Structure 1
Amino acid sequence: MRKNSIKNTRINGEVQKELSSIIRGEIKDPRIHPMTSVMAVEVAPDLKTCRAYISVLGNQEAKEATIRGLNSAEGYIRRQLARNLNLRNTPEIRFILDESIEYGVNMSKLIDDVAKRDASLGKSEEE
């Protein structure tokens, strides 16, 4: 099975949906921040491993605590995945902190700041 085959894409979507549901509703670990999202999931073609990209809305300490909490609950999450999804193998999950949304927001803010500065410079030159 190729990495980006239709079957693999479908499995990625199903695992992402189930992971989101499990993290949101079933894990009671206080380290896991309530504003945690599963951004993407990449399941290996052999279904042995899985990389889950997690986004956390909060400070750096909350992000690190959330990843630690998810890593400690990996066995439970994997068991729930096996129960909810009918896969030949239940993948071993690696949680990776995804800061792409925060990076995009910061870049957008910087662009807006430069645009405002350029607009104010343009007005002062016209006068």
Structure 2
Amino acid sequence: MPKKRSTPERINRIADQIQRDLSEMITRGEVKDPRIGFVTLQSVELTPDYAHAKVWFTTLSGDPQVSRTALNHAAGHLRNLLFKRLHIHTVPTLHFIFDETLEKAVELSQLIDQANAVRAKD
């Protein structure tokens, strides 16, 4: 019997549901690690076989690497909580990754402002 392939739409729906559920669990304090701090989950990338999920996050305060370590430490617990919520055969292993996009955008904006300030002086 050939293996059934997941459609991209289904993968995206499940990834979105994982993001919503994880956000809710972290916000409600179902993970009691204070090192996590105040994080926002930006997106979830799910592999086609549902084995792994990259969870991209940002922080509003604190050291992002400390938050990443704490989230990855709590990943097994969060996966068990997801297993109770999701109705899929395989619940993915979670890998938390700090999303540097926002920080890079701020840096770029500051560089543009500096360049414009230098131009205005000339």
TM-score range, shorter chain: 0.7 to 0.9
1:40-89, CA deviations, whole angstroms, 9 ceiling, x for partnerless residues?
10111111111111212235xx2121111111111110011111111111
RMSD: 1.5
1:23-56, CA deviations, whole angstroms, 9 ceiling, x for partnerless residues?
222212011112x111110111111111111212
- Secondary structure, counterpart of 2:34 in structure 1: coil
Aligned residue number for residue 26 of structure 2: 23
- Secondary structure, counterpart of 2:96 in structure 1: strand
TM-score (norm 1): 0.84
Aligned residue number for residue 98 of structure 2: 97
The count of residues paired between Structure 1 and Structure 2 equals 117
Aligned residue number for residue 36 of structure 2: 32
- Secondary structure, counterpart of 1:31 in structure 2: helix
TM-score (norm 2): 0.87
Name the amino acid aligned to 1:52: V
Aligned residue number for residue 83 of structure 2: 82
Aligned residue number for residue 17 of structure 2: 14
Larger gyration radius, structure 1 or structure 2: 1
- Secondary structure, counterpart of 2:36 in structure 1: coil
Name the amino acid aligned to 2:98: L
Asked if 1:42 corresponds to 2:45, the answer is yes
Distance in 2, matches of 1:88 and 1:43, equals: 14
Mind listing any 5+ residue stretches in structure 2 that lack a counterpart? none
Mind listing any 5+ residue stretches in structure 1 that lack a counterpart? 122-127
Name the amino acid aligned to 2:73: S
